[in-house]
Structure 1
Amino acid sequence: MAAAAQMVEIWRGGLLESSHAGHAVICDASGTVRESWGDPDAVIFPRSSCKMLQALPLIESGAADAFGLTDAQLALSCASHQGAALHSGAVARWLDGIGLGEADLRCGAHEPYDRTARDLLIRSDQAPCQYHNNCSGKHAGFLTYTKHIGAGPEYVAPDHPLQRAIKDAFEEVTQIPSPGFGIDGCSAPNFATTVQGLARAMAYFAAAPETGSARDRAAYRLTRAMAAYPEFVAGEGRACSELMRAMGGKVAIKTGAEAVFVAILPAQKLGIALKIVDGASRASEAAIAGLLVRLGVLDAQHPATLKRLNAVQRNWRGLETGITRLAPGFA
C-alpha cells in the first residue's frame, strides 16, 4: 500500500505551517489510470461525491421521464445544496408534483447553510425542516424512484429495492465489488470503493454517449444537468458551483464530506477522484482546482480558482498572512 502523497501546503511568514496529504487518480474511458498520487487502491467512502451514481436508477428505471423531471431537477438529485429558498422551494414543488411531501423524506432536518434562509427562520421563530437538508434533492429523487416502482416508504433501508439498485449500479460503474457501506449524514447507505474505482466511475460518466444503453443515457443526462445548473448542485460561494461556472459548463464536479472531490471531463473522456486523508475541505478544493488547471479545463487566474488555489490568506485588517498552494510534485 502506497503512502498518501503530500498535496496541499499552507505557508505563513515564509514557513510551512500546515500540510495535507491524500490520494488522487485520473482515469480514462477504458478505466486505465492515466496518473495517480498516493495509493489508487485506498478504500474510501465517497460520501456525497457519488450522488450522480445514486441517481442512475432514477433515470434508468424510467421514473424521471414518467414524472417529467427537468434537467434542473436532475441536477438537484445530485446536489449537496445550501438550503436556500431556491433549493428548498424546488424540492417542495418537486414532491408536491408527485403527490408527496416533507413527511415522506427520510433525510432529517438541519439548519440551512444559506445565511439568508437561516436568518429568516430565526427571525420568524421557525425550525428548519427536511427541505433544508443539503441532501433533500437526492432524497426527492429517491422518493420519485420509489413511487414509480411501488416500493415501500423506508427507502433508506439497505435492503430496500432502491438501495439494492444503487449498489448494483455503483459496483458496475466502479468495476469493483464494494467492501461494505456506512450510513451517511442523510441516513442513506454510502457504499465504499477505492479511489481508482471512483475515478473509473467518473470516466464512465465522461465517456457515456447520448445514445446507447439506458445507463449510458442516464450518465450523459446527469453530467450535462449538473454542468448546466451549477446553482442547484451546491449554491452561492461553494466550490462546486463556482468552479463549474468558471469552466463554462464543460465539466461537472462534485464534493463529498471528509474532503472527497470528483470531476467528470466529457471532452477529454477523463474522470478524477481524490481524497484528502485528514478530511480538510480547504485542501480538497485546492487539489481539485490544481488538477483541473493541469488538465487545461480551468483557468489558473480565474477568481474562482484563486479563491482556492494559490489563495492569499488575509486577516481581519486585510493584511496578507499566508498562502494556500500545491505541494511540490503534485499536479
Structure 2
Amino acid sequence: MNKAVQVFRGELLESTHDAHVAVVNSRGELLYSYGDPDRLTFARSSMKPFQAVPLIETGAAEAFKYEPADISLSCASHSGEDFHRSRVLTILNRIGQKEEALQCGTHIPRDIESYNALIREGMELTPVFSNCSGKHSGMLATAVKMDEEVATYREIEHPVQQRILEVISDVCDYPKEKIGISVDGCGVPVHRLPLSKVAFGFARLATPEVVLYQARSQALQTIRNSMLSHPEMVGGTDRFDSDLMRVFNGRLVAKAGAEAVQCIGDVETGIGIAIKIEDGNGRSVSAVAMEVLKQLGIGNEVLYRQIDDYVQPPVLNMRKDKIGVIKANFELKQPVV
C-alpha cells in the first residue's frame, strides 16, 4: 500500500508516513484532497492567527501601540531568538505586566545558541523563551484592555478564551458546540475541527474580503499583512513558515502546528490548505506542503530551488552528513460529483 511520504536511507526505503490534505476555496468548497479531508484534527498552533483576532477587535492592539511585528509575533511559534524574546518583553512592559504573568510554561528554545548563552550566564529558562509567549502576551493584552482577570486568562470559561472560540467557529464556519476542546502544550484551550474547516479558515485569512462582517474582515487583513511583512516573527531563522512566506513574497500566509499540522493560505487564488501527518511526525510536513503547492501550480522551480531543503528534506546523521531524503508520494484528488 502506497504511503504519502517515503523516507529513504541512501537509496533504500526505510520508513513511511500517511497524510491527510484538504484544499478549499474561499467559499469553503473542497477542491482537492488526499486521505481524509474531514479528519477531526487539533490544528494546534496553526490556529494562532485566529486566536489573535480578539487582540485586534477589542482595540487592545491599538491601545497598546502594537506594531505589525508585534501582531505577527502574537501568531508565532517562535524559535526563542533574541529578537523574539526582546519584543515579547517590550509588549509586556507596555501592558503593565511582568514576565511572571505569562502562563505558557517554558521549554528549551529551538534557537540553541540562546539556550547555551543562558547556561553560560548561569541563568534559568523563563516563560519568554516559550514558542507561545507571543500568543500569551496577546491574550494578556486583551484581558488588560477589557479590564478582565489576568490570572485566569488561559481558562476556557474566561472571556479571552470565549472570544477566541467564537472567532474560530465563525471564521472556520463550524458550530461552536461541535468544536472539540482540550488543552494545548502551552496550557490554553486547543480546538478540534474537521481538516477541511481549518483549510477554510486559512482561505479566509488569505482573502479576508470574503468575510461579510467588516470588523472581522479588517482584523484578519491586519493579521495576514503583519505575518507577511514580518515572517521572521512567526517562526525564525531556518523555519519553514518564515522561509516560505519570505520566498513567496506576500503570496502565501503559513502557520504550522504541533503534531505535524501545516496550514497555508494563497492570497492570489483564495485557496486554503490544511495538512495533517497521521502519526504526528513533523519531519515530513514541509515535503507534503511543497508537493501540494506544486500540484496546485502555486510557485515555480525558481522559488522551489530557494527552499530546496523543504521540498525534499534531508536525512542527516550525527555528523550532519546527508545520508538520505524525505520524498512526497501522493496525488491530490478532486471530489467525486
Amino acid at match of 1:220: Q
Question: How has the CA–CA distance of structure 1 residues 38 and 122 changed in structure 2, closer, same or farther, with 3 Å as cutoff?
Answer: same
Asked whether the 8 Å contact 1:181–1:189 carries over to 2, the reply is: yes
Q: Which residue of 2 aligns with 1:82?
A: 79
| Distance in structure 1 (CA, Å) of the matches to 2:320 and 2:191 | 43
Taking the aligned partners of 2:291 and 2:254, their CA distance within structure 1 comes to 13
Q: 1:223 touches 1:264 (CA, 8 Å); kept in 2? A: no
In structure 1, the residue matched to 2:200 is: 200
Q: 1:151 to 1:33 in 2, by over 3 A?
A: same
Specify the alignment match of 2:242 in structure 1: 241
The answer on 1:36 being equivalent to 2:33 is yes
Q: 2:133 — aligned with what? A: 136
Partner SS, residue 310 of structure 2: coil
The whole-number CA distance in structure 1 between the counterparts of 2:10 and 2:110 is 33
Quote the residue 1:158 is aligned against.
Answer: 156
| Cα separation, 2, equivalents of 1:55 and 1:295 | 29
Separation in 2 of the partners of 1:156 and 1:319? 43
Is contact 1:106-1:187 (8 Å) kept?
yes
1:5, 1:23 within 8 Å by CA — same for their partners in 2? no
Q: Does 1:273 align with 2:267?
A: no
The amino acid of 2:275's aligned partner reads: L
Query: Which whole-Å CA distance do the structure 2 matches of 1:103 and 1:313 have between them?
Result: 39
- The answer to whether structure 1 residue 145 and structure 2 residue 147 are counterparts is no
Paired with 2:92 and 2:184, the residues of 1 have a C-alpha distance of 22
Work out whether residues 51 and 78 of structure 1, in 8 Å CA contact, stay in contact via their aligned partners in 2. Answer: yes
- Tell me by how many angstroms 1:16 deviates: 2.3
The letter of the residue matching 1:265 is D
CA distance in 1, matches of 2:133, 2:319: 38
Where 2:23 maps in the other structure, the secondary structure is strand
**What does residue 250 of structure 1 align with?**
251
Q: Which amino acid aligns with 2:146?
A: I
Partner of 2:199: helix, strand, or coil? helix
Equivalents in 2 of 1:313, 1:109: separation in Å? 29
Change (3 A) 1:270 1:114: same
* Cα distance between partner residues in 2 of 1:329 and 1:5: 11
Q: How does 1:297-312 map onto structure 2 within 5 Å?
A: 297-300=298-301, 302-312=304-314
Deviates more, 1:124-133 or 1:107-116: 107-116
Q: How large is the Cα RMSD of the aligned pairs? A: 2.1
Residue in structure 2 matching 1:175, options 173, 176, 182: 173
CA distance in 1, matches of 2:75, 2:190: 14
**Counterpart-to-counterpart distance in 2, 1:101 and 1:30:** 43
Deviation string 1:183-210 (CA, Å, 9 cap, x unpaired) is 1111000011010110011111122139
Letter in 2 for 1:174: C
Counterpart in the other structure of 2:326: 324
Deviation at 1:254, TM superposition (A): 0.7
Aligned residues: 328
TM-score using structure 1 length? 0.93
Deviations 1:4-59 (CA, angstroms, capped at 9, x unpaired)? 98321112344322111111111111110111111122101010011001111111
Closer, same or farther: CA 75–318 of 1 in aligned 2, 3 Å: closer
Runs of 5+ consecutive residues of structure 1 not aligned to the other structure: none
Counterpart contact for 1:5–1:38, Cα < 8 Å: no
Aligned to 2:121: 124
Q: Which runs of 4+ in 1 moved over 4 A?
A: 314-320
Unaligned 5+ segments in structure 2 are: none
Query: Could you say if the C-alpha distance between residues 12 and 93 of structure 1 is closer, same or farther in structure 2, counting changes exceeding 3 Å?
Result: same
Check conservation: 1:210, 1:217, Cα contact below 8 A.
no
Q: Which residue of 1 aligns with 2:17?
A: 20
AA paired with 1:183?
A: V
Question: Against the structure 1 CA distance between its residues 157 and 69, is the aligned structure 2 distance closer, same or farther, given a 3 Å change threshold?
Answer: same
- Following superposition, the deviation at residue 328 of structure 1 comes to 3.8
How many Å separate the matches in 2 of 1:318 and 1:63?
45
Partners of 2:243 and 2:278 in 1: how far apart?
A: 24
Equivalent pair of 2:26/2:210 in contact (CA under 8 Å): no
Q: Is the 8 A contact 1:83 1:134 kept in 2?
A: yes
Answering whether residue 186 of structure 2 is matched by residue 186 of structure 1, we say yes
Per mean C-alpha deviation after superposition, the further-off stretch among 29-38 and 238-247 is 238-247
Give the fraction of aligned pairs with identical amino acids, expressed as a percent: 34
SS in 2 for 1:107: coil
- Structure 1 residue 320 displacement after superposition: 5.4
2:113 and 2:63 map into 1 onto residues whose CA distance is 35
Bigger shift: 232-241 or 211-220?
Answer: 211-220
Contact 1:308 1:324 survives alignment (8 Å) = no
Query: Which AA in structure 1 matches 2:241?
Result: C
- Normalising by structure 2, report the TM-score: 0.92
The question of whether the paired residues in 1 share the 8 Å contact of 2:181 and 2:192 is answered with yes
